[in-house]
Amino acid sequence: MQYDFESGEYSAEQRAYAARVYNILSDKRSEKCKALVVTFGCQQNVSDSQRIRGMLSLMGYDFTEKAEEADFIIFNTCAVREHAEDRVFGNVGAVKKYKKQRKGMIIAVCGCMAQQDRIIEKFKTSYPYVDIVFGTGVSDRLPEFVYKKLTGSKRIFENELSNASVKEGVPINRDDKIKGFVPVMYGCDNFCTYCIVPYVRGRERSRKPEEIIKEVTDMVNSGYKEVMLLGQNVNSYGKGLKEDINFAKLLRMVNDIPGDFRIRFMTSHPKDCTKELLLAMSECEKVERHLHLPVQSGSDRILKIMNRKYTAKDYLSLIKTARELMPDISFTSDIIVGFPGETFEDYLLTEELVKEVEYSSLFTFIYSKRNGTPAATMPDPVSRAEKGKWFSRLLAVQDEIGLRLEKNKIGKTLRVLIESENDGELVGKAADMSDVTTYGDPSLVGTFCDVKITAYDRGLTGEIIKK
């Protein structure tokens, strides 16, 4: 992809830095320098990494998947659970040896972990071979950081969050040509007591509707078949904007964009999921009948100390309203097992709720203590082993439900977006995100097919129905 250094809204200052990096790199060598972008965490981070790749392309980098041939390695990190952080430290440690072999290699760490002072300190003192560490609030300044490093600067550490406004126009380098993420808002104001995200992503900021519409229109015009509108809590979209807009209205606007594509969105916080939004969903033909609605727990006592601001009853009534409006809707959810002070009785209420809702799939996590969050100081008497038992029990409950729902699809016709082909086998996703395997011409990749489900064997298979 070729970029124009002079045009676009992306900060003139950063574009100028990118142009200078470009010149330095092209003076240095005949072949292009290569970059490796390693991404951890949620869709927001995947989306941010596409902008990082966009900025790197602008600077003249090509990409590689091999650390040993990279001139620039960047880790875009996640802080949501301890395990996520441990993996990052492990991965960063593993590239140290390549730096010794490859002269001039730059190693950078960015994203949610790098937003925290304690992590910056750890990289400063224990990872001397890491050259650049920067948080989510300054990620658009990557060209400046690379330029400074290439021109002899010492190690760079930046994690200011106060200027975390919405930066438009950062070039995007998407890897997938069929489906893509479109952030509609950044940050989170909810402060669930277990969660680090509000501290590492800052306050909620919404993108202007015209920017979102323009991005989706461009994607649809260049052949994209699915857009996923992203935000930590898309339902509070629009807060602070001059326009009279909310997420339901935005959904209708995106739905009005001409073209054959599907719309998904995540994440919806149940406390802000309104009837207006469910109505918009039911009336917009491009919006898939699938709702990711994280419940976290089925116990009102735990929901209260989690600061979730709804009860299990409120949640179930939302599910009921959604089903009344869209009988074919499917649900997925996030659940935390073993929140501080959670008892087995609380856990059983979660299990009961899971059985009642019948999710098509669940993302289940054992509570992980995050320093700086209110839950980190709450008494947590239940052992990890005991929590592990509850966790496995919940997985077994969900497996049974998931399997039953999958088998119920046999004989039904599902609309599937075909995403890949291998030896005549086509694999795609149905509305509820389930994988469907079918057979047909490779040219069907990137198209919607009606697939009649014929069997279930660790996954759905079916035959394409000719229109």
Task: Give the binding site for ligand SF4 (CB under 6 A).
Answer: 188, 190-192, 195, 197-198, 232-233, 269
Among 17, 224, 367, 390, binds ligand SAH (CB under 6 A): 367
Q: Which is nearer to ligand SAH, 89 or 186 (CB)?
A: 186
Q: Which is nearer to ligand SF4, 192 or 362 (CB)?
A: 192
Token reading at 226: 């699915």
Q: Taking CB under 6 A as the criterion, which residues in 326-345 touch ligand SAH?
A: 334, 336
Q: Does residue 264 interact with ligand SAH by CB under 6 A?
A: no
By DSSP bridging, strand 34-39 and strand 62-63 are parallel
CB neighbour burial string for 342-354, b if at least 16 within 10 angstroms, e if fewer? beeebbebbbebb
Q: Which is nearer to ligand SAH, 82 or 356 (CB)?
A: 82
Q: Which is nearer to ligand SAH, 98 or 367 (CB)?
A: 367
Residue 157-196 contact track with ligand SAH, rule CB under 6 A, x = bound: -------------------------------------xx-
Q: How far is the CB of 7 from ligand SAH (least distance, A)?
A: 35
Q: How far is the CB of 373 from ligand F3S (least distance, A)?
A: 12
Window contacting ligand F3S (CB under 6 A); options: 167-175, 197-205, 249-257, 426-434: 197-205
Q: What is the CA radius of gyration of the chain?
A: 23
90 close to 53: Cβ distance less than 8 angstroms: no
What's the burial of 405, exposed, middle or buried (CB within 10 Å: 0-12/13-18/19+)? middle
Q: How far is the CB of 336 from ligand SF4 (least distance, A)?
A: 9
Q: Does residue 267 interact with ligand SAH by CB under 6 A?
A: yes
Q: Which residue has the tokens 């965490």?
A: 41
Contacts by 63-66, CB closer than 8 A, 24 or more apart: 63/34, 63/35, 63/36, 63/37, 64/34, 64/35, 64/36, 65/36, 66/36
Q: Taking CB under 6 A as the criterion, which residues in 40-69 touch ligand F3S?
A: 41-42, 44-45
Q: Does residue 79 interact with ligand F3S by CB under 6 A?
A: yes
Q: Which is nearer to ligand F3S, 106 or 195 (CB)?
A: 195
Comparing C-alpha atoms, which of 153, 155, 160, 156 is closest to residue 135?
160
Q: Which residue has the tokens 């918009």?
A: 280
Question: Distances from the Cα of 436 to the Cαs of 73, 175, 403, 406, 416, in angstroms?
Answer: 35, 22, 14, 10, 7
Length of the chain equals 467
Q: Which is nearer to ligand SAH, 33 or 336 (CB)?
A: 336
Q: Does residue 298 interact with ligand SAH by CB under 6 A?
A: no
For residue 27, report the phi and psi dihedrals to the nearest 5 degrees: -70, -35
Catalog residues that contact ligand SAH under the rule CB under 6 A: 80-81, 194-195, 197, 232-233, 267, 269, 294, 296, 334, 336, 365, 367-368, 370
